[in-house]
Structure 1
Amino acid sequence: MPRKSRKAPTTSLDATDENPASRRSFLKLSAAALAAPALLRTPTARAGDDDDDEGVAAPVVPPSPYTTPWVEYLPNAITPVLAVDRLTPAPTLTANLGGGEAGRDEHQRYAELTVTPPRLYELHAVERDWRFHQDLPVQPVWIYQANTPDFSPVILARYGYPLLCRIYNDLPPNHQGFGTPEISTHLHNLHCGSESDGFPGDYYSANKFGPTLTAQGHFKDHFYPNILAGYDEFPATKGDPREALGTLFYHDHTLDFTAPNLYRGLAGFYLLFDDIDSGNEQDTNPQALRLPSGAYDYPLDFCDRRFDPTGMLFYDQLNPEGILGDKVVINGKIEPVLRVARRKYRFRLLNTGPSRFYALSLVNANNAMQVFTYIANDGNLLPAPLKLQTRVELGVAERADIIVDFAKYPLGTELYLVNRMRQEDTRGPKDVKDTGPRILKFVVDRNATDYSRVPNTLRPLRPVTEAEKASAKVRRWEFNRSGGLWTINEKLVDVQNPRAKIPKGSHEIWELVNPEDGWHHPIHIHFEEGIILSKTVLGQNVPIPVHERGRKDVFVLGEDMTIRVFLRFRDFHGKYVMHCHNLIHEDHAMMVRWDIEDDDDSNGSA
């Protein structure tokens, strides 16, 4: 099939030190300095590649060292981050520049949304030693450190109870290897003001700041109001309960360096509860679903990593094809064991990337498929549970909540989570196989009382009316490859200039278009969830999978695919982004800024 012709990418940015264009130039010019000694350089031209990609040198690295399976253990329960009594200096509405805070915008609607005083949290981005596996050496990683022993700290929050999280940047300014010691923390996909969204240009350290901040700083305060979307539209209920989220996560989003910074470990979970999904399986409220809770509500972070022959993390941040990891790290460990009780568990599955897709199945020791119940996608409870499932697919940044009932297995039973998705490079998956490598082992080792249940109705979905569809402005966003970089509508990211200006309170239909047949793009839209209206491949309608018929914030664009998404824009204003969450594509520079504006004359086009 012939390739589509494309224009060269354009950008209007000047080459200054704090400028996205100069940072991207640094990525290109520094390749030789950061290449690993074990790296061999060979051409990457392959059947179907673009003319402008031919002859580009790509890294060929040896496989990661062998690791003995099932000798690392995950804790039986997750220890959540605890709130702190006070923050010093005290939080302020505007940036406390004198106290060491980075130059952010003012917190939106703070007085209105803090009638209940906010709970205070503190995270520190730090470098610390970690061992991914006992067969690999101890090595430095970057993590968000909190008052919990877990590799990826988990924050528990609740709608109606605002939270203020101070995030310090304690990374070493003269670090070694890949990444950059600035941070901008994005809480994916909380409904909050743009100043707390973790905008990529809002990166900061004690001596450096991004183009969309006004000053450097040692920390930045993030205001997470924990309000329901539609807060202004539904004043009686303070938002639309149909739009409550559950499984969120936070990660670094520094412009041009999201992939390497996250690769080093900067990610964690943020679990959000309400009266329906209350986090208490013994809840007496008749509205409560009573899903598995406490130690039996267990988040699992899957990420692909590559290690060099000495066992150290390897990453090539300069090549626009990136590196596909051949080890799956789960909550910081390779091929770990999780000991479970004979009862129901809620597993919150998250793919933090940077590039690998998953098709996860549960099997017994004889590789026979086991069934589970699928209850949520991308943090959104489905209208009804999908029972007797045997596979869940995750593009980068997609989430899925599943219920596994271990009560039917005798003590001593061993089960495995396998990845059946075949993928050979960072461009995307190839197909789903009958079996795959085992990446996580469950051992049923104890009995436990089970008060939980899985009702036949979960959370209703707000419908999109025909009138809303007819009145919606339609924007087309085309995800492409140009000049060896990744583009949207044939342009590179420019975080200082919005490509769309959208009136607050409006709704639109966005057409996400992948005109290519060589790669997949998991497209993430910040701030609001959308509903898929249709999918087409080469102009022909294809079915929308049942698990994608609820609300989503990541939309996997397959080859030659177009997805039409209905979106509402409510309650806050400011700058947000849409980007490919294959972090290689994002950093090279498949991202676009769009703004929500308070006035009604915003009619900017894509």
Structure 2
Amino acid sequence: MLLVKQPAAALSPPPGELAVLGEAEREGHQKWARHLPQKVYELDVGAGQHSFHPELPTQTIWGYDRVFPGPTFVERYGVPTTVRIRNNLLPDANGPGSPQISTHLHNLHSASASDGYPGDFYPRLAGAPPGQFRDHHYPHCYAGEEDARYSATDGDPRESLGTLWYHDHCLFFTAPNVYRGLAGFYLLYDAVDSGNEADPSPAALRLPSGVNRYDIPLLVNDPRIDASGYLQFDQFDNDGHLGNLFCVNGKAYPFHRVERRKYRLRLLNASVTRFYEFYLCSADGANQGFAHIANDGNLLPAPLRNQRKLALAPAERGDIVVDFSAWPIGTRLYLVNRLIQTDGRGPEGAAVNVRGSDGLLRAAGTQILRFDIDADPPVADASQVPDRLRDLPEIPQSEVVRERTWEFDRENDVWTVNGKIFDDTRPAAIVKAGTAEIWRLRGKGSWHHPVHIHMEEGRILSRNGKPPPPHEQGRKDVFVLNPGEDVRVYLRFRDFEGRYVMHCHNLIHEDHDMMVRFDVKR
């Protein structure tokens, strides 16, 4: 069970629009007076002790509040918060990574000073004593709040996000810092996705609710351990990092007891490099169905019912609803991965079929999580998966001011975008606030690249000249480029200004310069 973060009574010194005494240098918080914090938190970033399995040794990890995964934030739109993130990592810490940090809340609509820009790491000087902090201000407003049509709701409610996560984004050291444990969930609710399956409001979807009870965040990653059971990481391998242990919420070979009712499972691929294709299957390998309701934290316009697989690239999220009432008590079901990947190049295809006890061919897979159905619910299941979830905003082509092409490639063993490596000091693009652009993402060579764009969600217009598949027709912030693919994405740049980045979320590729800075200006 994940820890749920509790707000602090107050912060000392109190947060403000400008940096306060003892705070790392930062820009002023945009729209501070409009979104004064109603809740405040403090996160302690430091070393902690963690065991991935009872048969493996307890070892040192880095964590928010010194745990992995970090505590889960449960927040609401319309309730602004300020999170003070204090860096207590020791400057002489051993092992891979950097004790300098910059935290990105992926992919909240927020000003750049709180976005976790990679170059905003602190402390600025290597070897500086621990204890420096930075205040991140999260307005929890929908995108489009400057549009007069949505003044009553602080933006367009169709732009709502639900399943977010926060992680380190330190320049050149994102991969090892996340790998060592600097990641956690951040959940947002509103009047539609209200977090209450008994909500009497006609606007509420009444999806399965209760964080850690019927609404379950599941962070999946693949650490690599040596013969003694300790974490391994090669700081100098710029292809990618694949592990030999599969974990959910920091535990290997886990199981979860469930009741005979509906559950919302929020799956996050927090691996550095590995792609997954998840299946829910019975003990004999037969695929079971579920409803796919959200992609990258965005509710789809309608549920995709009777799905049999969920593909997630690094940093992608997928929310599914499983109705366990279809099986008797004592049943065991398995979440398995059936995607083969042997190097940083990307997935190579599905696992080889095997013949089950009934003589039918079924796909093999690696067990990720076991579900044990062991009880009837204490009260009747009030949750539902309605036929309509959240409508999509329009795509106003009239706002498009230009189209840009970004090519993701490898040149002389260096990862590049448009033939260049990342330059922290200057933008590769300057976009005008309040406009829209079409970004054409092109994958060159034989590598897969999950491309993440900060600031706002985008919409895939076409994939290789064709409409995207159903699960990609909603709003997204990670755009998977398979080798040679051409993906056109519609993006708007609203409400905030400043520095943001686009990068490959194979974090090894990002750290080795497959990233660009873009600035949003009036």
**Given the two structures, how large is their TM-score scaled by the length of structure 2?**
0.94
Contact 2:214/2:262 (8 A) holds in 1? yes
Write the distance in 2 (CA, Å) between the matches of 1:193 and 1:410.
49
SS at structure 2 position matched to 1:261: helix
Segments of 5+ residues of structure 2 without an aligned counterpart are 352-362
Q: Deviations over 1:403-445 (max 9, x none)?
A: 0011111111111000011111011101123221111111011
Query: AA paired with 2:50?
Result: W
Write the distance in 2 (CA, Å) between the matches of 1:108 and 1:435.
51
SS at structure 1 position matched to 2:450: strand
Q: Deviations over 1:59-115 (max 9, x none)?
A: xxxxxxxxxxxxxxxx3xx4411111001111121112xx3210011000000122x
Contact 2:68/2:184 (8 A) holds in 1? no
| Map of 2:390 onto structure 1 | 459
SS at structure 1 position matched to 2:34: helix
Rate the CA distance shift 1:444–1:139 in 2: closer, same or farther, 3 A: same
Rate the CA distance shift 1:209–1:273 in 2: closer, same or farther, 3 A: farther
Write the distance in 1 (CA, Å) between the matches of 2:57 and 2:209.
35
Write the distance in 1 (CA, Å) between the matches of 2:435 and 2:468.
25
| Map of 1:580 onto structure 2 | 504
Query: AA paired with 1:550?
Result: G
Query: AA paired with 2:326?
Result: K
Deviation of residue 515 (structure 1)? Answer: 1.9
CA RMSD of aligned residues (A): 1.7
SS at structure 2 position matched to 1:110: coil
SS at structure 1 position matched to 2:246: strand
| Map of 1:230 onto structure 2 | 144
Contact 1:242/1:462 (8 A) holds in 2? yes
Deviation of residue 466 (structure 1)? Answer: 4.7
Contact 2:298/2:475 (8 A) holds in 1? yes
Question: In the alignment, is residue 412 of structure 1 matched against residue 330 of structure 2?
Answer: yes
Question: In the alignment, is residue 263 of structure 1 matched against residue 179 of structure 2?
Answer: yes
Write the distance in 1 (CA, Å) between the matches of 2:260 and 2:101.
42
Contact 1:154/1:270 (8 A) holds in 2? yes
Write the distance in 2 (CA, Å) between the matches of 1:136 and 1:383.
44
Write the distance in 2 (CA, Å) between the matches of 1:88 and 1:167.
13
| Map of 1:535 onto structure 2 | 463
Kindly report which structure 2 residues correspond to 1:77-226, keeping only aligned pairs within 5 A, or say none.
78-96=2-20, 99-114=21-36, 117-145=37-65, 151-205=69-123, 207-208=125-126, 218-226=132-140
Rate the CA distance shift 1:311–1:504 in 2: closer, same or farther, 3 A: same
Deviation of residue 553 (structure 1)? Answer: 0.2
Question: In the alignment, is residue 525 of structure 1 matched against residue 453 of structure 2?
Answer: yes
Query: AA paired with 1:100?
Result: G
Q: Deviations over 1:376-422 (max 9, x none)?
A: 00000000000000100000000000000111111111110000111
| Map of 1:249 onto structure 2 | 165
Query: AA paired with 1:126?
Result: G
Deviation of residue 151 (structure 1)? Answer: 3.4
Query: AA paired with 2:26?
Result: R
Q: Deviations over 1:505-553 (max 9, x none)?
A: 010000001121x2100000001010001111xxxx3451100000000
Query: AA paired with 1:394?
Result: L
Write the distance in 2 (CA, Å) between the matches of 1:577 and 1:216.
27
Deviation of residue 447 (structure 1)? Answer: 1.7
Write the distance in 1 (CA, Å) between the matches of 2:372 and 2:93.
40
Contact 2:501/2:518 (8 A) holds in 1? yes
Query: AA paired with 1:143?
Result: G
| Map of 2:418 onto structure 1 | 489
Query: AA paired with 1:584?
Result: I
Write the distance in 1 (CA, Å) between the matches of 2:131 and 2:442.
39
Query: AA paired with 1:289?
Result: L
Deviation of residue 309 (structure 1)? Answer: 1.5
Write the distance in 1 (CA, Å) between the matches of 2:392 and 2:119.
34
Deviation of residue 251 (structure 1)? Answer: 0.1
| Map of 2:198 onto structure 1 | 282
Query: AA paired with 1:506?
Result: T
Write the distance in 1 (CA, Å) between the matches of 2:388 and 2:140.
24
Deviation of residue 236 (structure 1)? Answer: 3.5
Write the distance in 1 (CA, Å) between the matches of 2:185 and 2:39.
17
Query: AA paired with 1:483?
Result: N
Deviation of residue 341 (structure 1)? Answer: 1.2
Contact 2:107/2:455 (8 A) holds in 1? yes
Contact 1:349/1:400 (8 A) holds in 2? yes
**Given the two structures, how large is their TM-score scaled by the length of structure 1?**
0.81
Kindly report which structure 2 residues correspond to 1:549-564, keeping only aligned pairs within 5 A, or say none.
549-564=473-488
Write the distance in 2 (CA, Å) between the matches of 1:88 and 1:109.
22
Question: In the alignment, is residue 503 of structure 1 matched against residue 429 of structure 2?
Answer: no
Write the distance in 1 (CA, Å) between the matches of 2:230 and 2:130.
32
Write the distance in 1 (CA, Å) between the matches of 2:124 and 2:332.
49
Q: Deviations over 1:16-71 (max 9, x none)?
A: xxxxxxxxxxxxxxxxxxxxxxxxxxxxxxxxxxxxxxxxxxxxxxxxxxxxxxxx
Question: In the alignment, is residue 377 of structure 1 matched against residue 295 of structure 2?
Answer: yes
Contact 2:275/2:314 (8 A) holds in 1? yes
SS at structure 1 position matched to 2:330: coil
Contact 2:463/2:488 (8 A) holds in 1? yes
Contact 1:102/1:204 (8 A) holds in 2? yes
Matching residue within 266, 286, 289 for 1:348: 266
Segments of 5+ residues of structure 1 without an aligned counterpart are 1-74, 599-606
| Map of 1:601 onto structure 2 | none
Q: Deviations over 1:274-322 (max 9, x none)?
A: 1000001111111000001101000000112111121110000112113
Contact 1:103/1:217 (8 A) holds in 2? no
Query: AA paired with 1:524?
Result: H
Deviation of residue 465 (structure 1)? Answer: 3.8
Query: AA paired with 2:423?
Result: D
